[in-house]
Chain A
Amino acid sequence: MNKLYEKYIKKESLPTLFCPGCGNGIIQRAAMEAIEMNGCKEETACVSGIGCSSWIPCYLQLDVIHTMHGRALPFAEGLKLAQPDKKIMVFTGDGDCVAIGGNHLLHAAARNIDLTVVMVNNNIYGMTGGQKSPTTPLEAKTKTSPYGCIDMPMDACGLVMTLGASYVARWTTAHPVQLTRSIAEGMNHKGFAFIEVLSQCPVQAGKNVWGEKDPAKIMDLYKKYTYMTKTGEVDPAGARSASAIEGKLPIGVFRNDPDAPEYLEKVEAKLAECGIR
């Protein structure tokens, strides 16, 4: 077993419930490495929702809340307000975060509250067996869009940028080094850090969404159909126009604004201004 796993994984909980070749394991390792890089294992707690990706933190030797479908962000906000000095990571999926939890995402991003959100985007509802999600590309055939998806896929990165999230990045599982660095940066960032990770689901999304079942080949497609941007280069409108199949999708750190006012800092400043604290 990998040395990092030896330190971070609850061995008695193994094996993970991820299918062979699932991108969640890669993201799990990136998160472990980011925590290791920051040396903040004791100060970190994880919150997750429901779905495959929300099982990522459940295997880590950390304080973890595995919550309700779509509600990871409010749980994390409550935890953060109770423990303002600690680092709270949120693991969530595209359906969990954008569909059922969409309202919470909007408000958490608008508050710019100090959380690190890792949104695993596999373009499908994997755990329930391959139904259309809010990020499923147009024309993709899934169990609930048998004639091809007609709903415009949503761009979570563009969405949270318009609302004022101060750290926004998108990576894929084919970019593990950059992803790790981004998660580490996001954890040190004071403000709402939103990191979308395109992640392969070879079993449920594989053939129908990407036309490919081999996880390594899907990761090659991620490299082929994305282009690297520099910080601040992508405007939200441009990000929305791209999808995983047609055209290329921008990846990179889209915004990193350390000066944006953070929610808890704003609260403290207001209380100080009014002489309450």
Chain B
Amino acid sequence: MANITVDGTCCKGCNICLTVCPKGIFVKSRKRNTYGTNMPAVENAEACVGCRMCERLCPDGAIDVDTEGDK
């Protein structure tokens, strides 16, 4: 179980995370980030395997994956 957060002040809505997550945890949403574009929502976070590809491939450092024991 991971705690995945998407920071709306950083996210620019490029949707790379939607494609790179092997478990399809990120989905499109109607929620707006501070730039006014649609930002992803996190669904089904318990499926996360902790590969952190979303973190590595988010160009704006908006995604933080906090797995258990990770500080």
Contact = CB atoms under 8 A, between A and B. Distances in A.
Task: Determine whether A and B are in direct contact in the complex, meaning some CB atoms lie less than 8 angstroms apart.
Answer: yes
A54 interface: no
A14 B59 CA distance: 13
Contacts of B55: 2, 29
A198 B35 CA distance: 27
User: Which of B12, B18, B63 counts the most A-chain CB atoms under 10 A from its CB?
Assistant: B12
A30 to B, nearest CB: 7
A2 B58 contact: yes
B61 A5 contact: yes
Contacts, number: 84
Contacts of B13: 20
Interface in B11-57: 12-16, 18-20, 35, 37, 53, 55-57
Nearest to A16: B60
B58 A176 contact: no
B16 A177 contact: no
A9 B58 CA distance: 15
A26 B63 CA distance: 12
A1 B61 contact: yes
Nearest to A14: B10
A192 B12 CA distance: 35
Contacts of A166: none
A195 interface: no
A22 B59 contact: yes
Contact of B15 (A15, A23, A216): A216
Interface of B: 7, 9-10, 12-16, 18-20, 35, 37, 53, 55-64
